[in-house]
Amino acid sequence: MQDALIQLQTEALAVFLKVKTLDELEAARVEYLGRKGRLAEAMKDLAALDADAKREAGKIANDVKRTIEASFQATEARVVAGAAAERKAQEWLDVSLPGIAPAVGHLHLTTQAIDEISGIFAHIGFVRSRHPEVDWDYYAFESLNMPKEHPARDEWETFFIGDEGEVATGEKGKIVLTPHTSNGQVREIEKGELPIRMINIGKCYRRQASARHLPMFHQFEGLMVDKNVTVTELKGVFDYFVKRYFGPDRATRLRPYHFRFTEPSFELDISCAVCEGTGKIENGKCKLCKGGWLELGGAGMVHPNVLKAGGLNPDEYTGFAFGWGVERTMMMRSGINIDDIRTLYKNDLRFLTQF
C-alpha cells in the first residue's frame, strides 16, 4: 500500500514537470487529483486495512496528496506565467504606427445638392422655406388654376391619401402627397409678407417608377412676387443660378410652354456641355442633347388667378415661379452616368461612397 502511494507520487510529479499548456495541466489534474482520479482510487483501498495499518497508510496518503497538490500549484503558476510571457512577446505594440481611422460617413448626394442649391439662391436673397408634403389638393391644384376635374391634373400622377379605398378629405379638399413643390406658391403668398423671394425645396411624389422616374423625388421651387417683377428678372435669376451651379460657360434659353399656373410659361434650357451648345460633335450629332440644349424644368410668370388665390391684387403685384427636379439637375452637372435613377436611393455603399 505504502509503496503504491509513493509510486503514485513519483509518477504524478514527473507528469506535472512535463506539462506545458493549460490544457495539459487540466488533464493531469483530473488524472491524479480529480474526484475519480488515481489518488481517490488509492484512498478507497485504505478502507480494507485494519485500524493500525489504516492510520499509518492514511498519514502517508495525506502527505502524498499534499505533495501532488503543491506540485499542481507550482505547475499552474509556471504555465500561466509562460503563457503570459509568450503573449507579450507576440503582442508588442508599436506606438509610432498610424492609428486605424474610423469610417466617417457623409451626407447623401441629394442632400449635398440641396445645400448647394439653397446656398446659391441665398446669395440673391431667396429664403428657404418648407411647405407640407401631405397637402390638400386645393394647394396642389385648385389654387394653381386647375379646377376640379381639369384634365391638366393628369400630368401630375398623384397619390391620394385614403382609408380602405376611400380618398381622405379635409378642410380644403382631398388629401394628396404633393406631386410638385408648387403647392408652396399660394401657401407662401397667403403669409402676406411681401416682397416674396422663396426657395422651397422638398420631396414630391408621383405614381411612377421606372429607370428614369422615382415615386419620390425632390424639387426646388422659386417664387418671386413684388411690384414690377417681369420676365427679365426670371431670366436673370435663371442665368445666375446656371452660371453658379453649372459653370460660367453655360448659356440659358427660355422656350415657350404651357402651365395652368403661369402665363406666359416656359421650359428652361441650358446649353449642352458636351457639344458646347452646337448640337454637333466631331463625327456627327451630339448624343446627350437635342440640338445643343438640355431641358432643366418649368417656369413662368405667376398666373393672375394664383395671385388672387393668395389674396393679392394682380394689377398691383406680379411674380415669377420655377420648379426644377433636384436629382435631374445634379445629375446633369456631375455627369453621373447611371442607367437607373433608382440607384440613388438603394443605399448601396459601393455607389454612395463615391460622392
Residue 42: CB atoms within 10 A of its CB come to 18
- For residues 71 and 145, which CB has a smaller minimum distance to ligand PHE in the complex? 145
Query: Among residues 294, 322, 329, 330, which is the contact residue for ligand PHE, using CB under 6 A?
Result: 322
Enumerate residues 6+ apart whose C-beta is below 8 A from 289. 272, 274, 275, 279
Separation in Å, CA 285 to CA 173, 234, 251, 277, 333 = 49, 31, 19, 11, 20
In terms of residues, how long is the chain? 355
Among 246, 259, 293, 317, binds ligand PHE (CB under 6 A): 259
- Say if residue 195 is preceded by a cis peptide, omega within 30 of 0: yes
| Binder among 71, 143, 178, 262 for ligand PHE (CB under 6 A) | 262
Closer Cβ to ligand PHE, 37 or 323, answer by number = 323
Question: Applying CB under 6 A, does 300 fall inside the site for ligand PHE?
Answer: yes
What whole-number distance in Å separates Cα of residue 259 and Cα of residue 268?
13
CB of 265 to ligand PHE, least distance (A): 6
Binding-site member from 184, 298, 310, 319 for ligand PHE (CB under 6 A): 298
Task: Count Cα neighbours of 95 within 13 Å in the Cβ-side half-sphere.
Answer: 0
Q: What ranges make up the beta strands (E) of the chain?
A: 127-129, 134-136, 159-160, 162-163, 166-167, 169-170, 173-177, 196-205, 216-226, 252-259, 262-271, 280-281, 284-285, 293-302, 318-325
> How near is the Cβ of 262 to ligand PHE at its closest, in Å?
5
- Which region, judged by CB under 6 A, interacts with ligand PHE, from 51-59, 234-242, 292-300, 336-344? 292-300
Which range touches ligand PHE (CB under 6 A), out of 41-49, 110-118, 224-232, 294-302? 294-302
What distance in Å separates the CA atoms of residue 191 and residue 197, rounded to the nearest whole number?
12
Rounded least distance, CB 322 to ligand PHE, Å: 5
How many residues bind ligand PHE (CB under 6 A)? The answer is 12
Beta bridge partners of 197: 224
Selected range binding ligand PHE among 192-200, 209-217, 291-299, 330-338, rule: CB under 6 A: 291-299
Give the phi and the psi of residue 324 in degrees, each rounded to 5: -130, 155
321 binds ligand PHE (CB under 6 A): yes
Q: Per rule CB under 6 A, is residue 202 in the interface with ligand PHE?
A: no
- To which H or E segment does residue 61 belong? helix 51-90
CB of 296 to ligand PHE, least distance (A): 11
Instruction: Pick the stretch among 7-15, 133-141, 293-301, 305-313 that binds ligand PHE (CB under 6 A).
Output: 293-301
Choose between 321 and 344: whose C-beta lies nearer to ligand PHE: 321
Residue 299 contacts ligand PHE per CB under 6 A: yes
Residues 264 and 256 sit within 8 Å (Cβ to Cβ): yes
Residue type for position 325: G
Nearer to ligand PHE, 277 or 323 (CB): 323
Q: Interface with ligand PHE includes 306 (CB under 6 A)? A: no
> Within 167-196, which residues bind ligand PHE (CB under 6 A)?
180, 182
Q: Which residue is nearest to ligand PHE (CB)?
A: 323
Cell 448647394 locates to: 116
Binding mask 203-242 for ligand PHE (x = CB under 6 A): ------------------x---------------------
The 10 Å Cβ neighbour count of residue 304 is: 16
200 interacts with ligand PHE by CB under 6 A: no
The footprint of ligand PHE (CB under 6 A) covers 180, 182, 221, 259, 262, 297-300, 321-323
